[in-house]
Each structure stands twice: as structure tokens, then as C-alpha cells.
């Protein structure tokens, strides 16, 4: 009687497992034609609901199935200890239990095995969907990194262009100052050609400005050490 307490539970769970198997089969079929992240997430949500439900059923019935198996084993050993001898025309206790109790216990074992198999199938399907989702995310990350790399290259080109323009602008400004200075010296009575002085100062000033810009850029690209608060 203690062993057979599990039979109504097995019948109830068996009906629910049948519907879960149908839902799992539908989800597996839908996974072949799923397209887009939204559909993948929706399908993964369905599998997650099935996984949570099978876990709830397992938590509620695992002790009951284990107890039924233990009670059935006790009954079998007690019958074996009787060492029955068959009498013509009389049914033994072992035969009675084999026809009445054993089928019920096999039903409980079958439901328990189906329960474990469904849980494993759901876990495999969920793992496949998550792997597929991870691959999609990795592809998006790869495209994002490629886009960031392109932007970094464009930014580097723009930076070099700006540096060149800055060098030219600063050189032009400093050469103009040298020209004003040379003209002032010439007006003061020192004999020299102001235009020649300006022309000679152009390459020297350009080299100095270019080196200064490179030094500033190199210093800005160097990571700050702990404690550094200014460039």
C-alpha cells in the first residue's frame, strides 16, 4: 500500500509530461526556422518556462518515486524470504504481487525515466539556443569592433591632417613674427635682407614646430601613472 501511493502521482505527472513533450517538440521544430534575435529570445523564453516547470515537478515527485522503489524492494525481499513452494491450483503471494504490484511500479519507473529524459532534452535544447544566441552576440561584437577599428583609423588620419595643418599654421605665424622682427631690425639701421631672413627661417621653424607637435602627441598618448594629475 505504501508503494502504491505513488501510482496516482505518476498518472497525474504522466499526463503533464505528455503535454510537455508536445511543447518541446514544437519548440525544437521552431528552432530550425527561427530568424532574428527577437524570435530566438522568445523561443529561449519558452524553453526556460519548460525547464522551470520540469524542475518543479522533479522537486515535488523525486522523493515519492524514490520511496516507491524502496517499498517495492522491501516487498520483493519479504516475499523471497518466505521461500514459497508452488501448490497445484493455488496462486502464490509472489505471483499475486507480480501481477498486481509490479505493473504499477513499472509505470512509476517509466514516468520517472520520462521525467529525467525530458529534463535532459530541455537542457540540450536550451544549451543549443544559448550557444546560437552567443554566436549572434559574438558576430555583433565582431562587427562593432570592426566599425570601431575603422573609426579609429579615420580618427588617426584626421588627427594627422589636423597636426599637419597646425604645423603649417604655427609655422606661418612664427615666420610672420620673424619677418616683422627682421624689418624692425632693418629699419633700425642694420643692413640685411628681411625677405632672405624670412625664407631661411621657414625650414628651421617648420622642423621645430613639427618636433614639438610630435612630442606633445607622444606625451598625450602615454598612460598616466598613479599620482600624475597634469600632463
pLDDT tens sequence across 221-230: 665 565 555 5
Q: What is the pLDDT of residues 147-199, one digit of tens each?
A: 888 888 888 777 777 777 777 777 777 878 777 777 776 666 665 566 777 77
pLDDT at 211 over 50: yes
When pLDDT is averaged across residues 28-53 and rounded to a whole number, the result is 78
Is 0.75 topped by the overall pTM?
no
pLDDT of residue 231: 43
Q: What is the pLDDT of residues 99-149, one digit of tens each?
A: 888 888 899 998 988 888 888 888 888 887 777 777 777 887 888 888 888
Average per-residue pLDDT in the chain?
A: 80
Backbone angles phi, psi at 168, to 5 degrees: -65, -40
pLDDT of residue 55: 87
pLDDT at 48 over 70: yes
Cα separation, 67 vs 65, whole angstroms: 5
Most distant CA atoms of the chain, gap in Å: 149
Nearest to 202 by CA among 162, 170, 160: 170
pLDDT at 220 over 70: no
pLDDT of residue 173: 79
Amino acid at each position: 500500500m505504501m508503494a502504491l501511493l505513488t501510482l496516482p502521482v505518476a498518472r497525474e505527472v504522466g499526463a503533464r509530461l505528455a503535454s510537455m513533450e508536445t511543447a518541446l517538440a514544437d519548440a525544437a521544430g521552431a528552432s530550425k526556422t527561427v530568424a532574428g534575435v527577437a524570435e530566438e529570445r522568445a523561443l529561449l523564453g519558452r524553453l526556460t518556462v519548460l525547464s522551470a516547470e520540469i524542475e518543479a515537478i522533479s522537486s515535488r515527485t523525486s522523493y515519492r518515486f524514490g520511496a516507491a522503489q524502496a517499498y517495492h524492494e522491501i516487498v520483493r525481499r519479504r516475499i523471497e524470504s518466505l521461500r514459497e513452494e508452488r501448490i497445484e491450483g493455488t496462486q502464490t503471494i509472489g505471483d499475486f504481487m507480480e501481477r498486481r504490484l509490479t505493473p504499477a511500479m513499472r509505470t512509476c519507473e517509466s514516468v520517472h525515466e520520462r521525467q529525467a529524459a525530458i529534463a535532459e532534452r530541455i537542457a540540450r535544447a536550451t544549451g543549443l539556443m544559448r550557444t546560437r544566441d552567443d554566436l549572434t552576440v559574438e558576430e555583433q561584437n565582431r562587427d562593432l569592433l570592426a566599425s570601431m577599428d575603422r573609426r579609429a583609423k579615420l580618427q588617426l588620419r584626421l588627427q594627422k591632417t589636423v597636426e599637419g595643418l597646425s604645423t603649417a599654421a604655427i609655422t606661418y605665424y612664427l615666420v610672420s613674427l620673424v619677418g616683422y622682427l627682421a624689418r624692425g631690425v632693418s629699419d633700425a639701421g642694420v643692413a640685411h635682407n628681411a625677405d632672405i631672413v624670412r625664407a631661411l627661417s621657414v625650414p628651421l621653424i617648420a622642423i621645430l614646430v613639427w618636433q614639438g607637435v610630435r612630442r606633445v602627441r607622444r606625451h598625450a598618448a602615454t598612460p598616466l601613472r598613479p599620482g600624475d594629475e597634469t600632463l
